[in-house]
């Protein structure tokens, strides 16, 4: 059978899935955690605890402050010692709550048993409420508050749920391990999300470099109705929602539109697992799987760690050598951010941390553009990266807007493929951010 993939562009970087065979280990609860209130896209959560308050595992720390915002819960039990601003992995200051850990006492409402609960009697709006109250966000990387995706405008309807088990980023294996270790929970989560989205069909897209996960989920999915496992040809960036919809359903999301406009809702497998835990076990989202990998890590592995754990601790536990690393990346190597300081903390979106040696990480000196148009042929959105780069560099934002710079998904395929090593994406990101700002200002004026 010919495997499906998205039709336009894409690259295939070396996979380097060093930690694929290492099963998920539980990372011990640290002595102190710092839980940031802006772990998601949208408005930071509003703190509801004060300094000196006692909290348990799962206690609400911050409530959503706006339509696009998510609740934040405590990942440990202990005393709140500080509410102040700390730097996130990008060096940006965000409000956060520091908790000194005392014991490991959980909220009574959370079901801590290991039994798998398959039946769910709740209706769609109740499920969405639970997602909202227990702080579920998209865990593929963008951390978009999950409940918002299921609150459809009255004139729109979905007919398919798409679950992203692609993990197209090199190095990362957190979703792969999750699919191998919690397949039934994921599938229950998917059926709950189908109910929330009021759809009959769900597709779980998995790339062919994870045959074990495909086989296991195919076997388990036989006992669920409406869930189909779709093996996909390996191609980056297949995990981007528009590309995944194209690959699985052959539908194209028009420029400036959302997946819902073509009748789809897209979520990650890790989100499906988080939904399962929230709906069936009443467990808020306060821990996730993080991959620690790269050539400077002695034992590349996957940890399940509490949100707020210092990432430096996790790197140390995996015997990563911070001092001699050439580059430390939070997230995947293609879309993640190189960090300038390892003093940042686990968030709901921390899918991995990669320690690269200096040789691997060093960017070559940029040369002049040779007009080979390789960036154009690999752009999965059909844009012209060389042109967008030049327009952004010269601050010609109006022209960049006309060239659809806002459609860029920042996958980095252009920079990856450029034979002249031009910093295409760096400039495009700069241009895109400015165009977005100009568009916001224009909208505010009207």
Partner 1 sequence: MSAVVLYSIITLGAISAISAVVLFIVARKFKVYEDPRIDEVAEILPGANCGGCGYPGCRGLAEALVKASENGDISGLFCPAGGNDTMANVGKYLGLEVAASDPKIAVVRCGGTKSKAPQKVAFDGPSKCAVANTITSGENGCPFGCLGLGDCVAACDFGAIYIDKETGLPVVDEEKCVSCGACVKACPRGIIEIRPKGRKDRRVSVFCMNREKGAVAMKNCKAACIGCGKCASACPEKVQAITVTNFLAYIDPKKCIACGKCVQECPTGAIKASFEIIKKEAPKSAPAETNV
Q: Considering only residues 362, 367, 373, 402, which one is a binding residue for partner 1 as defined by CB under 8 A?
A: 362
Collect all residues with Cβ–Cβ distance below 8 Å to 282 and sequence separation of at least 6. Answer: 109, 110, 111, 130, 134
Q: Considering only residues 393, 399, 407, 410, which one is a binding residue for partner 1 as defined by CB under 8 A?
A: 393
Q: Does 90 bind partner 1 (CB under 8 A)?
A: yes
Q: Does 100 bind partner 1 (CB under 8 A)?
A: no
Q: Considering only residues 337, 382, 402, 419, which one is a binding residue for partner 1 as defined by CB under 8 A?
A: 337
CA-CA-CA-CA torsion for 135, 311, 170, 3, nearest 10 degrees? -30
Alpha carbon 61 to its chain's center:
22
Considering only the stretches 1-9, 87-95, 149-157, 253-261, report the one whose residues sit in contact with partner 1 under the rule CB under 8 A. 87-95
Helix (H) or strand (E) holding 133: helix 124-133
Closer to partner 1 by Cβ: residue 195 or 327: 327
The DSSP annotation for 211-279 comes to: HHHHHHHHHHHTTSSSEEEEEE---BTTTSHHHHHHHHH---PPTT--GGGGTEEEEEHHHHHHHHHHH
Number of residues in contact with partner 1 under rule CB under 8 A? 19
CB of 297 to partner 1, least distance (A): 19
Are 81 and 70 within 8 A, CB to CB? no
Q: Does 429 bind partner 1 (CB under 8 A)?
A: yes
CB of 375 to partner 1, least distance (A): 15
Q: Does 51 bind partner 1 (CB under 8 A)?
A: no
Q: Does 201 bind partner 1 (CB under 8 A)?
A: no
Cα gap 76→106, rounded to integer Å: 8
Instruction: Please identify which residue in the block is written with the tokens 């980095």.
Output: 412
CB of 342 to partner 1, least distance (A): 10
CB of 324 to partner 1, least distance (A): 14
Burial of residue 316 (CB within 10 Å: 0-12, 13-18, 19+) is middle
Q: Considering only residues 23, 255, 299, 340, which one is a binding residue for partner 1 as defined by CB under 8 A?
A: 340
Are 378 and 197 within 8 A, CB to CB? no
Q: Does 367 bind partner 1 (CB under 8 A)?
A: no
Closer to partner 1 by Cβ: residue 89 or 281: 89
Q: Considering only residues 95, 226, 263, 423, which one is a binding residue for partner 1 as defined by CB under 8 A?
A: 423
Q: Does 416 bind partner 1 (CB under 8 A)?
A: no
Q: Considering only residues 366, 372, 402, 439, which one is a binding residue for partner 1 as defined by CB under 8 A?
A: 366
CB of 336 to partner 1, least distance (A): 12
Cα gap 140→440, rounded to integer Å: 26
Is the backbone peptide bond immediately before 237 cis, with ω within 30 degrees of 0? yes
Q: Does 439 bind partner 1 (CB under 8 A)?
A: no
Closer to partner 1 by Cβ: residue 54 or 362: 362
CB of 113 to partner 1, least distance (A): 44
Token pair recorded at residue 40: 């998601």
Are 199 and 157 within 8 A, CB to CB? no
CB atoms within 10 A of CB 212: 12
Q: Does 433 bind partner 1 (CB under 8 A)?
A: yes
Rg (CA), the chain: 21
CB of 240 to partner 1, least distance (A): 20
Cα gap 333→415, rounded to integer Å: 12
CB of 352 to partner 1, least distance (A): 19
Are 213 and 231 within 8 A, CB to CB? no
Q: Does 363 bind partner 1 (CB under 8 A)?
A: yes
Burial of residue 332 (CB within 10 Å: 0-12, 13-18, 19+) is buried
Closer to partner 1 by Cβ: residue 93 or 402: 93
CB of 363 to partner 1, least distance (A): 5
Cα gap 158→241, rounded to integer Å: 15
Q: Does 430 bind partner 1 (CB under 8 A)?
A: yes
CB atoms within 10 A of CB 91: 11
Cα gap 277→131, rounded to integer Å: 10
Q: Considering only residues 12, 51, 54, 93, which one is a binding residue for partner 1 as defined by CB under 8 A?
A: 93
| Residues that bind partner 1 in the complex, under the rule CB under 8 A | 87, 90-93, 337-338, 340-341, 362-363, 366, 393, 423, 426-427, 429-430, 433
């Amino acid at each position: 059978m010919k495997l499906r993939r998205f039709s336009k562009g894409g690259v295939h970087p070396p996979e380097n899935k060093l930690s694929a065979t290492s099963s998920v280990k539980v990372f011990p609860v640290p002595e102190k955690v710092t839980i940031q209130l802006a772990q998601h896209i949208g408005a930071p959560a509003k703190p509801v605890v004060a300094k000196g308050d006692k909290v348990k595992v799962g206690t609400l720390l911050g409530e959503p402050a706006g339509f696009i915002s998510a609740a934040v819960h405590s990942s440990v039990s202990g005393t709140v010692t500080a509410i102040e601003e700390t730097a996130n992995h990008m060096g940006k200051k965000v409000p956060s709550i520091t908790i000194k850990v005392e014991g490991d006492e959980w909220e009574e409402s959370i079901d801590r048993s290991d039994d798998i609960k398959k039946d769910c009697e709740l209706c769609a709006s109740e499920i969405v409420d639970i997602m909202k109250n227990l702080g579920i966000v998209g865990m593929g990387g963008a951390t978009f508050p999950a409940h918002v995706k299921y609150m459809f405008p009255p004139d729109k309807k979905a007919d398919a749920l798409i679950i992203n088990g692609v993990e197209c980023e090199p190095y990362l294996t957190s979703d792969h391990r999750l699919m191998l270790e919690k397949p039934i929970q994921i599938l229950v989560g998917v059926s709950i999300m189908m109910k929330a989205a009021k759809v009959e069909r769900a597709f779980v897209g998995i790339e062919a470099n994870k045959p074990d996960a495909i086989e296991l989920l195919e076997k388990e999915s036989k006992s669920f109705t409406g869930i189909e496992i779709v093996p996909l040809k390996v191609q980056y960036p297949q995990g981007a929602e528009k590309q995944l919809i194209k690959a699985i359903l052959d539908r194209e999301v028009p420029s400036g539109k959302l997946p819902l406009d073509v009748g789809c809702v897209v979520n990650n497998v890790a989100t499906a697992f988080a939904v399962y835990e929230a709906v069936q076990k009443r467990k808020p989202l306060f821990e996730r799987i993080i991959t620690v990998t790269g050539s400077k890590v002695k034992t590349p592995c996957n940890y399940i760690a509490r949100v707020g754990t210092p990432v430096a601790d996790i790197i140390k536990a995996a015997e990563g050598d911070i001092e001699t690393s050439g580059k430390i990346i939070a997230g995947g190597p293609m879309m993640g951010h190189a960090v300038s300081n390892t003093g940042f903390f686990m968030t709901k979106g921390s899918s991995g941390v990669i320690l690269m040696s200096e040789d691997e990480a060093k960017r070559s000196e940029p040369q002049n553009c040779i007009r080979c148009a390789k960036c154009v042929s690999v752009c999965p959105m059909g844009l012209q990266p060389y042109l967008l780069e030049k327009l952004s560099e010269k601050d010609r934002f109006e022209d960049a807007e006309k060239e659809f710079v806002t459609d860029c998904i920042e996958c980095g395929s252009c920079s990856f493929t450029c034979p002249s090593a031009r910093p295409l994406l760096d400039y495009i990101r700069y241009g895109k951010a400015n165009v977005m700002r100009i568009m916001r200002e224009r909208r505010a004026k009207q």
